[in-house]
Amino acid sequence: MPFLETLAESPQGGVQQCMSELGLGECKVQMRRVEFVGPQVGGELTEKGGLAMIYALIGILIYVAWRFEWRFALGAVAALVHDVLITISIFSLFGLEFSLPVLAALLAVIGYSLNDTIVVFDRIRENFRKMRKGGVLEVMNSSINQTLRRTILTSLTTLLVVVTLLLIGGEVIKGFSFALFIGILVGTYSSIFIASPVVLGLGISREDMLPVKKEEAEADGLP
């Protein structure tokens, strides 16, 4: 556009041209700087945001594998990928704009969903050591039931804030709020109905969660 080209070359001249066309007379405002965010810059930011999401998932995979067990790591990442894909699919289905705030919301959803998943995994590991007579399925089912109340209450409390942002936050953060709303909903059930079943399907056993070194040391000390 001629006006944009004039504004890019000479900000003061561009504003003066606009004022003249509108019949407002001479412009007395001095413009010191004009910045543009073109498609190249926007594409670069989106690419970096996508890489940040991938790096976050890789970091989570490594941490959970070190903190718990590799099967738990795969279960956690499967749940997180599910959350991201569902949220993006809903945006695509309704034709909503996918912007950088939405990308930031997806990263927040990853952290929120992981927190719920870690709580469930920690209770599973604890019950594996306490419930010596129960089977793997029984232990995991009991652990999920024990954390279910906490998970639901936490999600409802967070959703109240997100719904408030969605209703009165304005158009600027509407995409961010909607992405958080969808992400928290799907993240709540994925931490229960996806992460744990994936771990179970990968063949987790009681021996995988027992403190082997400690038990071996105690056994060596017996007469």
SS (H, E, C) the chain: CHHHHHHHHCHHHHHHHHHHHCCCCCCCCCCCCCCCCCHHHHHHHHHHHHHHHHHHHHHHHHHHHHHCCHHHHHHHHHHHHHHHHHHHHHHHHCCCCCCHHHHHHHHHHHHHHHHHHHHHHHHHHHHHHHCCCCCHHHHHHHHHHHHHHHHHHHHHHHHHHHHHHHHHCCCCCHHHHHHHHHHHHHHHHHHHHCHHHHHHHCCCCHHHHCCHHHHHHHHHCCC
- Residue 182 is predicted with a pLDDT of 92
CB 120 within 8 A of CB 149: no
Domain boundaries, the chain: 1-36, 39-211
Q: Kindly report whether the global pTM for this prediction surpasses the value 0.75.
A: no
Chain segment 93-143, per-residue pLDDT in tens: 888 887 778 888 888 888 888 888 888 888 888 888 777 777 778 888 888
- In this prediction, the residues of the chain whose per-residue pLDDT falls under 50 are 3, 7-8, 41, 214-223
- Residue 86 is predicted with a pLDDT of 92
Q: Which fold has domain 39-211?
A: Multidrug efflux transporter AcrB transmembrane fold (1.20.1640)
- Residue 217 is predicted with a pLDDT of 44
- Residue 39 is predicted with a pLDDT of 57
